Amino acid sequence: MQKFFTIGRIATPAAVLAGLTMAALLMRPSFAAPVFPDPSSARSDIDSALKQAASSHKRVLVDFGANWCGDCRALDENLHKPENASLLSAHFVLVRVNVGDKGIDHNIDLAQRYGIPLNKGVPALAVLDSDGRVVFSQKNGEFESMSRMDARSVNEFLTRWKPGN
């Protein structure tokens, strides 16, 4: 009987630890649903967004990032918090541009076109008017540490770059 209690004392914490480890692995960005589309769709996605922006008098928010990027996921989460989601949908058409599945190796030419230095990291944002002209281009990796930022900083960014400002 003593052996059973000893094994139970060891097995129960080990089972809990194994369960917590599995939960942590499943919550890692690589296991989460993709936020960024296939890299090959970027040009057509931007073209569609520009048409939509022109007909709705909005700007285009181009979000360069990747599904493996934790800061990109943090930005996406902050963009869709209630205080930002309404501002985003009222004033912007969001386009996510995937820079690659294993590193930054796709859509580099698009980043250059919009003045985004991908060597500073992702996420990186550009704001375009409905004619495709760059209104803002992130030059210094301002959002690359998004996991340490909050929804308020995203709100300030959206407010600053919405049409009419």
Pair (111, 142) in one structural domain: yes
| pTM for the whole structure | 0.79
Pair (18, 47) in one structural domain: no
Total domains in the chain come to 2
Give the CA dihedral 4, 7, 8, 12, nearest 10 degrees.
Answer: -170
Give the CA dihedral 30, 34, 38, 42, nearest 10 degrees.
Answer: -120
Q: Which residue has the tokens 């690359």?
A: 144
Q: Which two tokens stand for residue 136?
A: 């803002």
Pair (88, 7) in one structural domain: no
Q: What domain range includes position 27?
A: 2-31
Q: Which two tokens stand for residue 62?
A: 């181009």
Pair (9, 89) in one structural domain: no
Pair (127, 50) in one structural domain: yes
Give the DSSP H/E element, type plus range, for residue 33: none
Pair (77, 127) in one structural domain: yes
Pair (13, 70) in one structural domain: no
Q: Which two tokens stand for residue 9?
A: 């004392």
Identity of the amino acid at 7: I
Residue 23, pLDDT score: 44
Pair (54, 135) in one structural domain: yes
Identity of the amino acid at 112: Q
Residue 20, pLDDT score: 47
- For residues 99 and 65, the answer to whether their CB atoms sit within 8 Å is yes
The pLDDT profile of the chain, 165 residues, written as one tens digit per residue, is 555 555 555 556 555 444 444 444 444 444 578 999 999 999 999 999 999 999 999 999 999 999 999 999 999 999 999 999 999 999 999 999 999 998 999 999 999 999 999 998 899 999 999 999 999 998 866 676 667 778 999 999 999 999 988
- For residues 95 and 63, the answer to whether their CB atoms sit within 8 Å is yes
Pair (43, 13) in one structural domain: no
